[in-house]
Amino acid sequence: MKKILLFIVFTLIIFAGFASAQDMESYQDGSTVKGMHLTSLTMGSKLFKDKIDDLVDNTEMNAVVIDVKEIDGKIAIKGVAGDLAYSKSLPDPMTYVNKLKERNVYIIARLVCFRDNTMPRKMPELAVKTSNGQLWEDYKKLTWLDPYNQKARNYLLDLAETVADMGFDEIQFDYIRFPSDGNVKECRYKVERTSTTASRAIVEFLRQAKQRLAPKNIKISIDVFGLTTTATTDMGIGQKIVEMTEHVDYVSPMVYPSHYRKGDYGIPHPNKEPYRTVYIALQGAKKRIPVEKLRPWLQDFSIRGVKYGPEEVQAQIQACVDCDVTTWLLWNPACKYTKGGLKTKDKANTYVKSSTQTINKLLKLNEVKKSTSTKTNVNKQNVNKPNINKKQVNTKSNKVNKSSGSYTSDLNKSNAAKIKNKK
């Protein structure tokens, strides 16, 4: 009897170890990544790093997305374009990256691409111009790199190659699009802009990225506007999700419920219905691109009078599970994540797909007519991630100011709203 019991115990131990190894392998290849975004400034804060370490050690989180090229164009590493965009004020990411890698955390380097308020001012020949040859600026007085300009592309790709050699597991390209905020009629590019040439320019950039990064054995992912999952046009910004997906490993549509207008997908108030909004968006994506390439950005912040907490975070994750999407990322502009919305590490693989009856109930199919139609004018939905102002992270006192800064739609200034972060 004892021999039988010992055999059973031994078998269970072996099985648990095998399952654990499989889980580690799957997230190390990116397929079951569950991650969170970190600004470069948070890495200079011991308080923040302690909180992130706690999430990595004790919850299902197994990945982080670290800003290497910021939204203002500044970069935290040397050795690119004569260090014209290098900022001494940004902490060196590699010290923290190496510590995370020792704990088998999957590390993604986020590179904000064409929205860049640094290099266009250093090298105007790379920039989007106005009709009189001056630097074009959006409503926030930020400049942009010209997506048609091969020298601008090369600058970004040189940076990507440098980052790939630093030990990151994946490079994530964000703002791979054309400007939408400001007097875009005044934009002048190397090539006359049309919907066709714009989408081709973005796809060509990704094709070149794949070609140059392939020898580095590093994954490539992209961030895209949420409505690209159902839109058939380039939405005025050059993004066509089907064509873009061909050249990358993962696609991260920003399906934040707060970014959808009232009535989108037939939902009266998308921000108040996180499960329903995310589910419909992902179902639309699944019809167009391989589900194994889907890795959505989910909302972990409160905005426009709707409080997000554990229940709302879990609702979005469950929507992913019910859509057979195994990997996702959380975004909070202040990098303050809801631990209560996550499963503990020992229960990370205990998600169960909802029954058809439950899904239908959550989708409220008995209350409204099924609708997947959306107008695809870019002015209908926010395209930017909520941002945190650098001044709001005090690395000396290890504190974050109560206000996370204003979140202004790139599309319509009247949509500006303040995000208030709750502990």
Q: What is the band of 277 on the pLDDT scale with cuts at 50, 70, 90?
A: very high
Q: Is residue 6 part of a domain?
A: no
What sign does the dihedral 259-263-268-273 (CA atoms) show?
A: negative
Helix extents (H) in 150-217: 150-164, 195-213
Instruction: Identify the weakest region by mean pLDDT among 59-73, 185-199, 306-320, 389-403.
Output: 389-403
Question: Strand 63-69 to strand 106-112: parallel, antiparallel, or no bridges (unpaired)?
Answer: parallel
Name the average pLDDT for the chain. Answer: 84
Q: What is the pLDDT at residue 38?
A: 93
How many other C-beta atoms lie within 10 A of the C-beta of residue 364? 13
Per-residue pLDDT tens over the stretch 1-22: 555 555 544 444 444 454 444 4
Question: What does residue 215 show for φ and ψ, rounded to 5 degrees?
Answer: -65, -15
Say yes or no to pLDDT of 419 above 80.
no
User: Once rounded to an integer, what is the mean pLDDT over residues 417-421?
Assistant: 33
Amino acid (one-letter) located at 190: K
Q: At 106, list the tokens.
A: 């999957």
Instruction: Identify the weakest region by mean pLDDT among 225-234, 337-346, 358-367.
Output: 358-367
Q: How far apart are CA 298 and CA 34, in angstroms?
A: 11
The 3-state DSSP class for residue 109 equals strand
Instruction: Identify the weakest region by mean pLDDT among 13-17, 298-302, 405-409.
Output: 405-409
Say yes or no to pLDDT of 327 above 70.
yes
What sign does the dihedral 302-307-308-309 (CA atoms) show?
A: positive
Q: What is the DSSP code (8-state) at residue 168?
A: -
Residues contacting residue 278 through CB under 8 Å, at least 6 positions apart = 255, 257, 296, 298, 315, 316, 319, 320
Q: What is the DSSP code (8-state) at residue 141?
A: S
Q: What is the band of 182 on the pLDDT scale with cuts at 50, 70, 90?
A: very high
Q: What is the pLDDT at residue 3?
A: 57
User: Once rounded to an integer, what is the mean pLDDT over residues 333-359?
Assistant: 95
Q: Distances in Å between the alpha carbon of 344 and those of 56, 59, 347? A: 10, 4, 5
Q: Is residue 236 part of a domain?
A: yes
What sign does the dihedral 8-10-12-14 (CA atoms) show?
A: negative
384 or 203: which carries more pLDDT confidence? 203
User: Once rounded to an integer, what is the mean pLDDT over residues 392-398?
Assistant: 36
Q: Is residue 10 part of a domain?
A: no
Q: Is residue 288 part of a domain?
A: yes
Q: How far apart are CA 177 and CA 198, in angstroms?
A: 8
Task: Tell me, rounded to whole angstroms, the distance of Cα 420 from its chain centroid.
Answer: 20
Q: What is the pLDDT at residue 5?
A: 53
Q: What is the pLDDT at residue 149?
A: 98
Q: What is the pLDDT at residue 387?
A: 60
Nearest 10 degrees: Cα torsion 295, 309, 227, 39: -60
Q: What is the pLDDT at residue 396?
A: 34
User: Once rounded to an integer, what is the mean pLDDT over residues 166-175?
Assistant: 96
Share of the chain above pLDDT 90, in %: 66
Q: What is the pLDDT at residue 408?
A: 31
Per-residue pLDDT tens over the stretch 24-73: 555 567 789 999 999 988 877 888 889 999 999 999 999 999 999 988 99
Q: What is the pLDDT at residue 41?
A: 81
Residue 283 sits in a domain of what CATH number?
A: 3.20.20.80
Q: Whole domain around residue 68: which residue ranges?
A: 32-420
Q: What is the pLDDT at residue 366?
A: 54
Q: At 351, list the tokens.
A: 């998600």
Number of structural domains (the chain) is 1
Q: Is residue 26 part of a domain?
A: no
Angle between helices 195-213 and 150-164 (to 10 degrees): 30
Instruction: Identify the weakest region by mean pLDDT among 4-13, 214-223, 241-250, 328-337.
Output: 4-13
Q: What is the pLDDT at residue 270?
A: 97
Q: How far apart are CA 282 and CA 299, in angstroms?
A: 14
Asked if residues 136 and 405 have their Cβ atoms less than 8 Å apart, the reply is no
16 or 387: which carries more pLDDT confidence? 387
Q: Is residue 253 part of a domain?
A: yes
Tokens 């639309």, residue? 284
Tokens 């650098």, residue? 390
Say yes or no to pLDDT of 371 above 70.
no
Q: What is the pLDDT at residue 189?
A: 97
User: Once rounded to an integer, what is the mean pLDDT over residues 223-230?
Assistant: 92
User: Once rounded to an integer, what is the mean pLDDT over residues 171-195?
Assistant: 95
Q: Is residue 16 part of a domain?
A: no
Q: At 314, list the tokens.
A: 């879990």
User: Once rounded to an integer, what is the mean pLDDT over residues 102-113?
Assistant: 95
